[in-house]
Amino acid sequence: MSPPPIERESGEATPECPGGARRGPLRRAAASFLRWFDTEQGSAPAADEHRIDWIRVSPFIAMHLACLGVLFVGFSWFAFWTAVVLYALRMFAITGFYHRYFSHRAFKTSRAAQFVFGLIGATSVQRGPLWWAAHHRNHHRHSDTERDVHSPVHRGFFWSHVGWFLTPAGFRTDRDVIRDLLKFPELRWLDRYDLLLPVLLATGLFLLGEILEREAPALGTNGPQLLVWGFFVSTVVLFHATVTINSLAHRYGSRRYETADHSRNNWLLALITFGEGWHNNHHYFPGSARQGFRWWEVDLTYYLLKFLSWLGLIWDLKPVPAELRRTR
């Protein structure tokens, strides 16, 4: 099966164009390295856009290997609960803002609030909000067709779960579908230097652990322990929980609505992703700030968004139309 067509940024060089001549291995490696720090560097496409760029994704792989550090840094309840709190905070930033706000504009908020939650989301190592929104909007446009970049129907579990994320094609941002967001220079900056926020979080956790080891030894933690549990373990679990919606929620679960794709409702995935597992509901009516259409469909993200609306931080949450609640 041929790979899906690639949506390129406007003005980008291609292998067929004069500015896009294929690079040698060393130049491609240098471009991959530079893009660790600045995503706009070395943007000429690779010879195979759907092959994993091992140099570019090596920090992502190293992050997984770093989780083995739990065997050496030990355990403390403080480190454990730090990991849990950071998982919850960043999961909400991803589901509430990266997904329901940036991707679907399911509510309104201030420019300051969208940037703050964009910063929190960027610490998740799931790229910036513009990249995330662009890919998700294209997912809805081409869901479970050959043009869907992470459909498990056409490319299998591994590809839909993580493989697409590791390729040059997956790395690119389709700016044509996020023109409403490109007007914010702070969001463009956040996308360009998306590695900065995870590095700052990891550094902060290490320094906090070192301070607590000296000032509060009863907590039983230190810099390496808080780094491994608070950043590496929490971030890796968060990533894989998030992408289960790509790989599992289009395969396993129930279908209330006959959508044109394979989306399904899965209560277990809804629990670990704060409501994203009500995926068939979402694909049937993606504009709603709420994805659990029934009272018993737990949607923690929606409850938190509702709370923020009471505080005046967000407003105009788009509801589920009453007729959709009755439709089967």
**Which pLDDT value is given to residue 121?**
97
Token digits of residue 282: 């979402």
Q: How confident is the model at residue 321 (pLDDT cuts 50, 70, 90)?
A: confident
Concatenated DSSP letters of 130-145: HHHHHHHHHHHHTTTS
Task: Answer whether residue 291 shows pLDDT above 90.
Answer: yes
Task: Answer whether residue 24 shows pLDDT above 70.
Answer: no
Task: Answer whether residue 204 shows pLDDT above 70.
Answer: yes
Average pLDDT, the chain: 88
* Residue 122, burial from CB neighbour count under 10 angstroms (0-12, 13-18, 19+): buried
Task: Answer whether residue 47 shows pLDDT above 70.
Answer: no
**Which pLDDT value is given to residue 51?**
84
Q: Give the pTM.
A: 0.88
Domain locations in the chain as residue ranges: 24-253
% residues pLDDT > 90 (the chain) = 72
Q: How confident is the model at residue 294 (pLDDT cuts 50, 70, 90)?
A: very high
Q: How confident is the model at residue 46 (pLDDT cuts 50, 70, 90)?
A: low
Mean pLDDT of 183-196: 95
Torsion angles phi and psi, residue 314, rounded to 5 = -135, 165
Task: Answer whether residue 22 shows pLDDT above 60.
Answer: no
Question: Residue 267's closest CA among 248, 285, 286?
Answer: 248
Which comes out higher in pLDDT, residue 10 or 143? 143
Q: How confident is the model at residue 248 (pLDDT cuts 50, 70, 90)?
A: very high
Concatenated DSSP letters of 179-244: TTTTT-HHHHHHHHTTTHHHHHHHHHHHHHHHHHHHH-GGG---HHHHIIIIIIIHHHHHHHHHHH
Identify the sign of the CA torsion 172, 177, 182, 187: negative
Task: Answer whether residue 101 shows pLDDT above 60.
Answer: yes
Which comes out higher in pLDDT, residue 283 or 20? 283
pLDDT in tens, 262-272: 999 999 999 99
pLDDT in tens, 110-161: 999 999 999 999 999 999 999 999 999 999 999 999 888 889 988 889 999 9
Beta bridge partners of 278: 265
Task: Answer whether residue 162 shows pLDDT above 70.
Answer: yes
Q: Write the single-letter amino acid at 192.
A: R
DSSP structural state of residue 314: E
* C-beta separation of 99 from 151 below 8 A: no
Task: Answer whether residue 249 shows pLDDT above 90.
Answer: yes
**Which pLDDT value is given to residue 10?**
39
Torsion angles phi and psi, residue 83, rounded to 5 = -60, -45
Question: Residue 83's closest CA among 286, 228, 262?
Answer: 228
Which comes out higher in pLDDT, residue 39 or 90? 90
Q: How confident is the model at residue 8 (pLDDT cuts 50, 70, 90)?
A: very low
Task: Give the separation between CA 327 and CA 204, rounded to whole angstroms.
Answer: 49
Mean pLDDT of 301-308: 98
